[in-house]
Amino acid sequence: MQHLQMVDLKRQYQKIKPEIDTAIQGVIDSTLFIGGTEVNALAGELATYVGVKHVIPCANGTDALQIALMALDLKRGDEVITPSFTYIATVEVVALLGITPVFVDVHPDAFTMDPEALRKAITPRTKAIIPVHLYGQSAEMEAIMSVAAEHGIPVIEDNAQAIGGSYTYADGRTVKTGSMGLISCTSFFPSKNLGCYGDGGAIFTNDDALAEKLRMIANHGQKVRYYHEMVGCNSRLDAMQAAILRVKLPHLDAYNAARRAAADFYDNAFAQHTKLTTPYRAPWSHHVFHQYTLKVNGFDRDELHQQLAARGVPSMIYYPVPCHKQAMLKPWGTENMVLPVTDALNGCVISLPMHTELTTEELTYITQAVLDIIG
């Protein structure tokens, strides 16, 4: 058996090597390194895939979130509601722009924003809501969108971990994650479900005027070159990354199916174990398992993490410190907030290797190691 990794990108590359190499060579031959046909074509293909009108590629997922907030003209004193149980980028951009992050708790099993907690957190200063489709599972978008609509507050979906996933409304209608908010953002960081070979991200919207504004902000606030109408930034997806993503996008559904198959294997192995809670598959969500995250109770989670490492099985804690307790947010004084679900989850979650190339042999080794350790 090969050396186990959390994410194995090498074997995935080897399967599509000829297409990838040709795509990269094509960009080099064209010398169109920034913008151009590859980037535009990718934007169109992503729009079709996710089911939104406009896609604005940008440099990374964090920039995508920042540009989204800038386009909403948020200012100091405004509040943005996010879960604390998320990757720091969701919150960092809020802090960076001098806006006030307001944290809400999450669903104890789905790990996504609790719509009732959201309702209670809204104030006259709330100017945006950022639900996160964490680990590949959609947040409860119908409830979140309806709370937002009652108050006329825009929703920005953080879809960095769930591209290709979907949400099913109460009436049975199913749509892709990233197509429901006023704006949605994703990341093409290599380990994401749709990853490039460097940094990349994209912003999605159905709103024509907003799309134009987002595009301008990502390009120094200009529509016409050298005429800068607003303060923007420089956030571009380069053509080489776009070419790579154009090769990988047609494989995304198969990649997500492979992740789900690995999750099924893990679920079966752990189903009867009282100390392990396997990931909840919410009825509203088609989970695409960016992470396979167990809850451990009745056994020391950190001990499991260490003993797995000793057996050559990598595992990760996403995330060891919740956002509201990060030193970064000291100026906002969020560390004493009471978020019982978030605080409990940070102490008991553990993520196992999850990628598109896991073999039965590897999954067997990993699950047996977990079961041996916890007894």
Using CB under 6 A as the criterion, which residues of the chain lie in contact with ligand PLP when the complex forms?
Answer: 60-62, 86-87, 89-90, 132, 158, 160-161, 187, 189, 199, 201
Beta bridge partners of 126: 79
Q: Which is nearer to ligand PLP, 49 or 87 (CB)?
A: 87
Give the shortest CB-208-to-ligand PLP separation in angstroms. Answer: 26
Q: Report the nearest approach of ligand PLP to the CB of residue 186 (Å).
A: 8
As a whole number of angstroms, the distance between CA 209 and CA 227 comes to 18
Shortest CB 99 distance to ligand PLP, Å: 16
The residue count of the chain comes to 375
**In this complex, which beta carbon is closest to ligand PLP, that of residue 23 or of residue 65?**
65
Determine the distance from the C-alpha atom of residue 199 to the mean position of all C-alpha atoms in its chain, rounded to a whole number.
14
Nearer to ligand PLP, 74 or 370 (CB): 74
* C-beta separation of 263 from 289 below 8 A: yes
Least Å distance, CB 171 to ligand PLP, is 28
Q: Which residue is nearest to ligand PLP (CB)?
A: 61
Query: Both ends of the chain: CA-CA distance in Å?
Result: 24
DSSP track, 88-141: THHHHHHHHTTPEEEEE-B-TTT-SB-HHHHHHH--TTEEEE--B-GGG----H
Please say which residue, 132 or 369, places its beta carbon nearer to ligand PLP. 132
Closest approach, Cβ 90 to ligand PLP, in A, equals 5
Provide the residue type at 297 as one letter: N
SS3 148: helix
**Closest distance between ligand PLP and the C-beta of residue 269, in Å?**
26
Residue 12 or 367 with smaller CB distance to ligand PLP: 12
Cβ-based nearer residue to ligand PLP, 199 or 238: 199
User: What whole-number distance in Å separates Cα of residue 143 and Cα of residue 147?
Assistant: 6
Q: Alpha helices, DSSP H only, in the chain?
A: 9-30, 37-50, 61-71, 89-96, 115-121, 141-151, 208-217, 239-248, 252-270, 301-310, 340-348, 360-374
Least Å from the CB of residue 158 to ligand PLP: 5
| Structural tokens at position 365 | 């080794």
For ligand PLP, which is the closer residue by CB, 179 or 235?
235
